[in-house]
Every structure is written in C-alpha cells, then in structure tokens.
Amino acid sequence: MNRLVRLTTGAVTVLVAGACAGNPQPGDSGYAYNVSDAYAAEFVVDNASYTGSMTLETAPGGVVAGTMNVTSPATITGTVTGMIAADTLSFESDYEIAENGCTGTVTGVGVVAEGGGAVSGSMEVYDNCADQGLEGSFDLTR
C-alpha cells in the first residue's frame, strides 16, 4: 500500500508539473495578452487629442519595449518600457516634443484585449515645460 501511495503521488506531481509547463506565460508564444507590432495610438490629455503610433514587443518574462511617435498636433517621440502581468500593460515613456524642446514622462496602465489587438487605460503625464502632472487616457489598436 505504501508503494502505491508513492507511485500515485509521483504521477500526480508529474502531471501537475507538465500542465503548468504547458501554459504560456507573458512573452511566450501563444500568451493571449502579449503586445506586438505597431498600434495606432490616441492619447487624450487635458481634453486635447494626440494621435500617432506605438510599436511594442513583449519579451520573455513579460518585459515590454518599444517606441512612441505622436504625429498630431505635435511631433512627440519617446522610448517605451513596461511589463505585461495577466491582462494588464504597465508602461513608462520619456518623451521629447520636437517643436518646442519640452521633455517629460508618460506613465500608463491599461487592459490588453485578448489576442493583444488593443489596449486602453489611464495615464499620467509630467511635462517639464508645464511643470505639472496631467491625467489622461490612451487607446491603442492594431
């Protein structure tokens, strides 16, 4: 009887370990909430709409990297870093506005749609020229 318990316990351990190993994690191929490729982007800050794109890629472990390029009404560029945890993207981007040389930081948190085709959420912007923090929202769609 003792041997049967050991064999059963060992078999259950192998099955559980195998099942966990088969579930993709953030950044793994097949993970439902990875972000990848170019997204059309709309940022709304202080009732003003800014449009452009974000190019994002999820690496193993859920690390996100990419670029932000706003084209209207101003040219704003930045480098994006972040993380995917479950269905949530958290990101930060330092930026520079080409027309006036202002710089700042955007931090955002949003929900990723299953399949990674869209992300929407809230963000905060700190601009050194305005010397204040502003709240806003963002929508990304592939």
What is the C-alpha to C-alpha distance for residues 70 and 77, in angstroms, rounded to an integer?
Answer: 6
pTM: 0.82
- Give the separation between CA 44 and CA 140, rounded to whole angstroms: 12
The CA distance from 99 to 42, in Å, is: 19
In 3D space, the residue among 41, 47, 45, 93 whose CA is nearest the CA of residue 70 turns out to be 41
> Which pLDDT belongs to residue 22?
78
Domain ranges of the chain: 36-141
Chain center to CA of 53? 14
Task: Quickly list DSSP for 72-85.
Answer: ESS-EEEEEEEEEE
Q: What is the amino acid identity at position 140?
A: L
CATH of domain 36-141: 2.40.128.120
Q: pLDDT tens per residue, the chain (142 residues)? A: 555 445 444 444 444 444 456 789 999 999 999 999 999 999 999 999 999 999 999 999 999 999 999 999 999 999 999 999 999 999 999 999 999 999 999 999 999 999 999 999 999 999 999 888 999 999 999 9
Nearest to 63 by CA among 40, 36, 43, 39: 36
Contact 54, 137 (CB under 8 A): no
Residue 129 neighbours by CB distance under 10 Å? 11
